[in-house]
Structure 1
């Protein structure tokens, strides 16, 4: 780890979103430790695939990576009653809370004072909502990674590194909605 930079635990939703986030955090004076919990991701094979892609990113940037066990059953219990919510609704807020709290607990366990999330790189995610949840948790650093061309940079880096880019956020509910949207747009939902 660079002695000039402050350690920060970076909750990573996936490898592609992590690329530009890592660059930005280093510009801001942080040295990220990558964290993959993401019990929201479904099916388990998808979670495994996303973790493997994140390992590639960790290797490219020479960073450490930590993984929590996948516990989708517990995550599902945390969103009961919100299965039909649309993307950016109450279910997503509960999911952000789950992932940010899990990251905060891991940062505390490791003695890392600061943490943040790659979730804000996506134009499909509500950064102000993520920040409002995060500010209630000690150590959260609000960074809107989509600013300053962050999302476009993540696409560019993903192409350079030949990374798998998924077409839904993670849970079976976002996958359902993504599939419906792709079918409505006349696209084959199973084509990468």
Structure 2
């Protein structure tokens, strides 16, 4: 099923499969873009760029993977919220001489590390709550299961942002990009719509 994550027999395997699938789905949005397109702000009312979104999604997978693998021990202990934001800014900064290939390589490194970390984690293990003002002060811990769902939420939210920005840049849309990026033959979808046009568009 090229457009969907595979069905798995355990909860953790299903979450890992969905995470890997969502990472690939996100990556496909950036297929064949150049660095100028990744730096562009194609929507006048927004500061978002495709390059920032690409690196932010990678950094989210990596950072939360580190938390999941560390269990109740905070891997970022001692780092303030302001310090964490500076680290995130550095992780998403695009160097003057960087190319599109460089940004995709960084995304791949972030997400590969995050996937390895999530794979090593016990799904029921407690995870330390980050020291940040947007987390409730009385919340003592998450569990790894929650971190999976949080990262998937982030990927899906920002993949949607990226879809809109990509279409604004060059008109390319998700099905077309996935087909080209992963060499998936989706002609069967067009054939189905063509065969059922009378039923679908009658009246």
Q: TM-score, normalised by structure 1?
A: 0.28
TM-score with structure 2 setting the length: 0.27
**Structure of higher CA gyration radius:** 2
Where is the strand percentage greater, Structure 1 or Structure 2?
1
